[in-house]
Amino acid sequence: MGYRILEPADIPAYLHGRGHWPDLADIQVREVSDGNMNRVFLARSADGTRSLAVKQALPWVRVAGPSWPMSPERADAEARAYEQVAKVAPDKIPAIHGYDPENYALVMEDMSDLEVLRTLLNEGASYGPHTSARIGEFVAQLTFATSDFGMASADRKALIATSVSPELCKITEDVVLAEPYIEHEHNHWHADLTDLAAEFRADTALRTEVADLRHTFMTSAQALLHGDLHTGSVMVGDREGAPVVRVFDPEFSFVGPIGYDLGLYWANALVSEQRARELGTLTDHADQLSLSWQAFETEFRRLWPTRTDTFFDDAYLDRFLRRIWTESVGYAGTEIIRRIIGFAHLTDLTTLPNPAPASRRALLIGRQLILHREELKNPSEVGTVGESF
């Protein structure tokens, strides 16, 4: 039949036809699309005992419409990423019930009993002790398993080949790692930040450091990444009294530098901290880099003795982790900046009564992280940068 864009009214027959839903008379569907890229539908039986989510990639960027075409094949990358994570961290992703490559649609667990981390933080919640630790573990488990430490050399080459995702990588190379530093029609910012946006575009030292991070993003095939690990890609909650953390939306997945995943999460944590500071609702925001980095490092070191290639010695592990740390700090800086003067902004800042003061502080922090990433040696030194503006 070929690719067709699904509407809410199509979902019952779609799920029934693919064997996911037995009773066509007992299904209610609503669209809950929220991200920039795709459409998401929730299907639920009247008594709520059966529910599923359907996520479909459109042939364009959802928030831009057909004027920004984008191959729906990004859903293939997402399905592949979920398959990889399911092997090593199945407790940290939604259950995937099926992938339909013809319609670029995933059928997956309904997570509407959980909350998007960003939404909770914006409402004034704290992170708690589990969330960032699970994220750090998630990054370690996925990246160790898909690095040259977790896979045989030939298998890794095959993974790199099958994970190539040129269009989605180009989005990141452009909207995160270039456009905010040049004149570009995608860019926009709060009127009170015009001076800083101009200053950043004129900052040649900053441009060179971003170029370095951009080139690393393009060339450093360390491990399979989530590729867009911001707080809107994390759901949290409780199930049967136990804390639950689920990472979703890995459509930007590709084999790249591990620091990109950690850096994105850190940037979003640092921005949420500036929001809380502005509102006087600071709680455990300042602990999140440390919690996620410690969990990442602990898990990566725990897995190290299982490495497939023991030519990589323990001293190399220390050097490799140091490189990931430094690059994470730099990518955190680029993520902060693009979220304030680039294409896609954060509700953490845009929903503040006056977004400018917190946004200005965040921009200044982002620049420092990029320029001084080699000197910032640990989470508390990054925290000091955050407190200095």
Interaction site with ligand SR1 (CB under 6 A) = 35-37, 61, 171-172, 175-176, 228, 343-344
- Residue closer to ligand SR1 by CB (options 137, 335) is 335
Q: Do 230 and 344 contact (CB within 8 A), yes or no?
A: no
Is residue 235 within a helix (H) or strand (E), and if so which, with residue range?
Answer: strand 234-239
Contact with Mg ion (CB under 5 A): which of 35, 72, 94, 333?
35
> How far apart (Å, rounded) are the C-alpha atoms in residues 248 and 304?
26
Work out what residue 61 binds among ligand SR1, Mg ion, none; the CB cut-off runs from 5 to 8 Å by kind. ligand SR1
Tokens at residue 106, please? Answer: 């995933």
Q: How far is the CB of 346 from Mg ion (least distance, A)?
A: 13
Whole-Å CA distances, 260 to 172, 222, 324: 11, 11, 9
**Of residues 65, 234, 225, the one with CA closest to residue 135:** 234
Residue nearest to ligand SR1 (CB): 36
Q: How far is the CB of 176 from ligand SR1 (least distance, A)?
A: 6
Work out what residue 171 binds among Mg ion, ligand SR1, none; the CB cut-off runs from 5 to 8 Å by kind. ligand SR1
Q: How do strand 234-239 and strand 115-116 relate by DSSP bridges? A: antiparallel
Q: How do strand 38-44 and strand 234-239 relate by DSSP bridges? A: unpaired
Sign, Cα dihedral of 338, 343, 348, 353: positive
Q: Do 247 and 210 contact (CB within 8 A), yes or no?
A: no
For position 250 contacting Mg ion by CB under 5 A, the verdict is no
For position 249 contacting Mg ion by CB under 5 A, the verdict is yes
- Residue closer to ligand SR1 by CB (options 10, 173) is 173
User: How many chain residues are in contact with Mg ion, going by CB under 5 A?
Assistant: 2
For position 273 contacting Mg ion by CB under 5 A, the verdict is no
Q: How far is the CB of 272 from ligand SR1 (least distance, A)?
A: 16
- Residue closer to ligand SR1 by CB (options 229, 303) is 229
> How far apart (Å, rounded) are the C-alpha atoms in residues 83 and 101?
14
**Of residues 176, 202, 175, 334, the one with CA closest to residue 270:** 334
Q: How far is the CB of 320 from ligand SR1 (least distance, A)?
A: 26
> How far apart (Å, rounded) are the C-alpha atoms in residues 20 and 360?
48
Work out what residue 343 binds among ligand SR1, Mg ion, none; the CB cut-off runs from 5 to 8 Å by kind. ligand SR1
Q: Do 262 and 226 contact (CB within 8 A), yes or no?
A: no
- Residue closer to ligand SR1 by CB (options 76, 179) is 179
- Residue closer to Mg ion by CB (options 179, 249) is 249
- Residue closer to Mg ion by CB (options 200, 252) is 252
**Of residues 370, 342, 346, 344, the one with CA closest to residue 216:** 370
Work out what residue 84 binds among Mg ion, ligand SR1, none; the CB cut-off runs from 5 to 8 Å by kind. none
Q: How far is the CB of 304 from ligand SR1 (least distance, A)?
A: 31
Which range of residues in 30-38, 193-201, 239-247, 375-383 is near Mg ion by CB under 5 A? 30-38
Work out what residue 28 binds among Mg ion, ligand SR1, none; the CB cut-off runs from 5 to 8 Å by kind. none
Work out what residue 175 binds among Mg ion, ligand SR1, none; the CB cut-off runs from 5 to 8 Å by kind. ligand SR1
Work out what residue 344 binds among Mg ion, ligand SR1, none; the CB cut-off runs from 5 to 8 Å by kind. ligand SR1
Residues 6+ apart with CB under 8 A from 372: 385
Tokens at residue 183, please? Answer: 């004149």
> How far apart (Å, rounded) are the C-alpha atoms in residues 299 and 138?
9
Residues 6+ apart with CB under 8 A from 185: none
- Residue closer to ligand SR1 by CB (options 150, 250) is 250
Q: How far is the CB of 116 from ligand SR1 (least distance, A)?
A: 13
- Residue closer to ligand SR1 by CB (options 76, 228) is 228
Tokens at residue 153, please? Answer: 């050399």
- Residue closer to ligand SR1 by CB (options 299, 335) is 335
Work out what residue 95 binds among ligand SR1, Mg ion, none; the CB cut-off runs from 5 to 8 Å by kind. none
Residues 6+ apart with CB under 8 A from 23: 45
- Spacing of C-alpha 335 from chain mean position: 10
In the complex, which residues of this chain contact Mg ion (CB under 5 A)?
35, 249
